[in-house]
Amino acid sequence: MTNKPAEGKIKLFFAANAFASVGMNIGVVGVAWFVIHSTGKNSILGLYNAISLLSAFCALITCSSLIDHKSKTAVMKCSSCWQGVLFALTALLCQSGVPPLFVIYMLALLNMPGMVVFTTASRGAVPAVLPAQYLAKGNSLIEITLQLGAMAAALLTAFFYGRLGFVSLMWAGAFFTFAGGALFAYSKNAFDCPSPSSAGWKRNIADGMYFLWKHKKLFVYGLIVFLPTIVISISNVIIPGYVQFNLRRGAMTYGLADMVFALGALAAGLYAARLKTGHIRLQTVLFVVSVGCMAFFAINATLGGFLSVIFISGVAMAGLRVLLNASFMQVVPNEYLGRALAVLMAVSVILQAVLSYVMGRLMDYWGTEIGFVFIAALLLLGLLIWLCLWAVKGHSLAEEKSLPRRVLPHKKDMR
């Protein structure tokens, strides 16, 4: 009998996350197709993605302390309701005949902040739901929930946008996010957990920069670790135009492709979670497969080939991301890991924003093929740098972890 309340709490937490995840992913998949379908310009989609990333970055800086020290249940509830209101407002504006560009730039500024704040709070609430020995499984379940939400959102985009239009899709997104918010409200404060005192986001960045400056190999390796995330972000700019202009297909194909990619990523996540850290050869294979997939997209013009290879790319990119993160954690001292990742995340977001905008502009001049050629070259460069870092006898990266531990200086000592 004593386990029933705990089981109910776990089920409620993941049910609320599942509903909210479906709605928020509709705001990613559906809006990307709306941008390319309503404007026909890759450059606008690239600009939309760049603004979205920068607004999400600003939201994390602004809300990091709030997420750390306030009620995580309230943050998740408010983020879900925020997304619901935004989607409902988008539907009403489109119904009223507001120009698409106004809607696009409104969503660019307001859509991603709610999603990243929700995701951060959700991961931070896992310790309140599961005992310490199950935290790894809890984070895996969160990742699986997000991938299932992405698959469901892609399916809904294919159906609603293709058959009923963008307005109906936004109402569907509002329904799912409001449903998630209602479940969080029903839970009251069940998912709150005390957070340790934090030095703040700025201090973490300063300490992380100092550590990576002293260990430059780890900084370069950290950029390689974030490379799959950067490539996936740029792909979100390339694929809508690729489907519309190269394959000459509509929202049904785009939604199906996104669902197939998420299915591949889900399969990779389930498999990679069972692996031990290391697997240098497997990581090399995944790098090579990822490069091959992007090169194939650049020359392919068939639907069957696209769907087959996008599943393979989902497996390769997601598996590579999991294994690279695991191996990075092996070579970075635990006390510096969070701060190093904070710096690398900041650099990654800026790179994603810049490259998304540049890719959108280039594709309008030279076609969507140039986008896939670029990210294939980027992955190949990453593979070569990664191999060089591990080629030194005894693994040069491992030497970095063996360096003597230093207490990072206070901000006043770093001036």
CA distance from start to end of the chain? 58
Nearest alpha-carbon partner for 235 in 351, 135, 368, 325: 368
34-47: pLDDT as tens digits: 999 899 889 999 99
Identify the domain boundary among 170, 195, 220: 195
pLDDT higher than threshold 80 for residue 415: no
| 48, two tokens | 């939309």
Those residues whose C-beta lies under 8 Å from the C-beta of residue 343, and which sit 6 or more positions away, are 205, 208, 209, 212, 222
One domain for residues 107 and 9: yes
One domain for residues 119 and 75: yes
Q: Residue 23 is which amino acid?
A: G
One domain for residues 208 and 257: yes
Mean pLDDT of 175-204: 73
pLDDT of residue 142: 65
pLDDT of residue 131: 60
pLDDT of residue 176: 94
One domain for residues 151 and 281: no
Mean pLDDT of 112-130: 76
Only one residue has tokens 């599961």, namely 130
Pick the most confident of 148-152, 316-320, 373-377. Answer: 373-377
Distance of CA 203 to the CA centre of its chain: 24
Nearest alpha-carbon partner for 165 in 65, 79, 250, 246: 250
Q: Domain with 252 in it: what CATH number?
A: 1.20.1250.20
Cβ-defined contacts of 199-204 (< 8 Å, 24+): 200/64, 200/65, 201/60, 201/61, 201/64, 201/65, 201/342, 203/411, 204/338, 204/339, 204/342
Q: Name the band, by pLDDT with cuts 50, 70 and 90, for residue 144.
A: confident
CB 291 within 8 Å of CB 383: yes
Burial call 173-205: b when 16+ CB within 10 Å, e when fewer: bbbbbbbbbbbbbebeebbbeeeeeeeebeebb
One domain for residues 211 and 158: no
Indicate the range of 120-129, 137-146, 197-206 predicted with least confidence: 197-206
Count: domains in the chain: 2
Rounded to two decimals, the pTM is 0.79
Identify the domain boundary among 195, 229, 249: 195
pLDDT of residue 393: 40
Nearest alpha-carbon partner for 215 in 329, 327, 340, 347: 340
pLDDT of residue 211: 77
Give CA–CA dist 112/305, Å, rounded: 31
pLDDT higher than threshold 60 for residue 7: yes
Mean pLDDT of 330-357: 78
Q: Where are the alpha helices (DSSP H) in 273-368?
A: 280-299, 303-331, 334-366
One domain for residues 76 and 131: yes
pLDDT of residue 335: 64
One domain for residues 304 and 372: yes
pLDDT higher than threshold 50 for residue 303: yes
Burial call 313-327: b when 16+ CB within 10 Å, e when fewer: bbbbbbbbbbbbbbb
One domain for residues 133 and 253: no
pLDDT of residue 137: 58
Range of the domain at 379: 199-415
One domain for residues 226 and 127: no
Identify the domain boundary among 195, 221, 243: 195
pLDDT of residue 413: 39
